[in-house]
Amino acid sequence: MSQKAEKLIDKKGLRLDGRKPDELRPIKIEVGILSNADGSAYIEQGKNKILAAAFGPREMHPKHLALPDRMVIRCRYHMAPFSVQERKSPSPSRREIELSKVIKESLEPTAFMEYYPRTGVDIFIEVLQADGSTRCASITAASVAMADAGIPMRDLVAACSAGKVDDTIILDLMDTEDKQGSADVPVALMPNQNAITLLQMDGTLTSEEFENAVNLALEGCRKIYAMQKEALKTKYVDVKEVEE
């Protein structure tokens, strides 16, 4: 990290792609685009292009993994071999296995798990193109896919990263900022419950910088939350009009 001399923030205080430090990348969320999944979503956040699908609640396979008192959520985060600069082997890397676990744990608090004992929900995330903060965009999309599948939920989860480059705290890191910056803090939030369901960090921050980064990321999550709701409304309002 941070060994290259290239400036990530110019004299005007703007970032490489012209954003202000506290500005999100353009985000587009589409709901229900996969006809075979029970619920699905597609997100574009800057150059990130990610598909998420939810299946279930359905019978668990293998059966011994089912729980008698609640449903089980399983998650697979996977990057396409062509999603990054150098081809990534399609077999799951250690990073992907860890991310699958933390993404699953960020989604679990939202679902009413006890409503569907002995069942399973499978969430599949495919990163088609990656440009930094893919775990956050994946959570945002997966949460919308779960809602689209009709799984009873307490709230949506919106996720966003914050970090530090050139001594400035910034929102929504893209790939170069993640690689050359000095810290990356991905955060996921259930805004109505004020519940942080994912928090990770790597890099170095003082406690003051950390507090600022978390606050900025939470602000980003709330903005993304509005877009998630808008995307869901767009789909379901359209459906209603067709029926009438």
Partner 1 sequence: MSSVITRVKQKQIAQTIAKGKRLDDRGLTDYREMKIEQGIIERAEGSARILLGKTEVLVGIKIEIGEPFSDTPNEGVLTVNAELVPLASPTFEPGPPDENSIELARIVDRGIRESKTIDTEKLVIEPGKKVFVVFVDVYVLNHDGNLIDASALAAVAALLNTKMSNYEIKDDEVKIKPGYTQLPVKKHPITVTFAKISDKLVIDPWLEEEQVMDARISMAIDDDGNICAIQKGGSGYFTEKEVLEVAKMAREKAAEIRKKLKW
Q: Which residues are at the interface with partner 1 (CB under 8 A)?
A: 3, 94-95, 97-98, 100-102, 105, 108-109, 185, 190, 193-207, 210-211, 214-215, 218
**In this complex, which beta carbon is closest to partner 1, that of residue 31 or of residue 102?**
102
User: Closer CB to partner 1, residue 31 or residue 72?
Assistant: 72
Least spacing, CB of residue 136 vs partner 1, in Å: 14
Greatest Cα pair distance, the chain, in angstroms, is: 60
Residue placing its CB nearer to partner 1 in the complex, 31 or 60: 60
- Is the Cβ of residue 35 or residue 206 nearer to partner 1 in the bound state? 206
Q: 72-79 and 119-129: which strand pairing?
A: parallel
* Smallest separation (angstroms) from partner 1 to the CB of 216: 12
At its nearest, how many Å lie between partner 1 and the CB of residue 194?
Answer: 6
- Give whichever of 33 and 66 is closer to partner 1, judged by the CB atom: 66
Order of strands, sheet of 183-190, starting from the edge strand that comes earlier in the sequence: 168-171, 158-165, 183-190
Nearest distance, CB of residue 168 and partner 1, angstroms: 17
How far is the C-alpha of 105 from the C-alpha of 131, rounded, in Å?
Answer: 23
Cross-strand bridge partners of residue 4:
none
- In this structure, the chain runs to a length of 244
Report the distance separating Cα 110 and Cα 195, nearest Å.
10
**Each residue of 3-27: b (16+ CB within 10 Å) or e?**
eeeeebbeeeeebeeebebebbbeb
Question: Which one, 125 or 231, has the nearer CB to partner 1?
Answer: 125
The least CB distance from residue 109 to partner 1, in Å, is 5
Q: Which residues contact 8 (CB under 8 A, 6 or more apart)?
A: 15, 16, 165, 166, 176, 177, 180, 181
Give the nearest distance from C-beta 71 to partner 1 in angstroms. Answer: 12
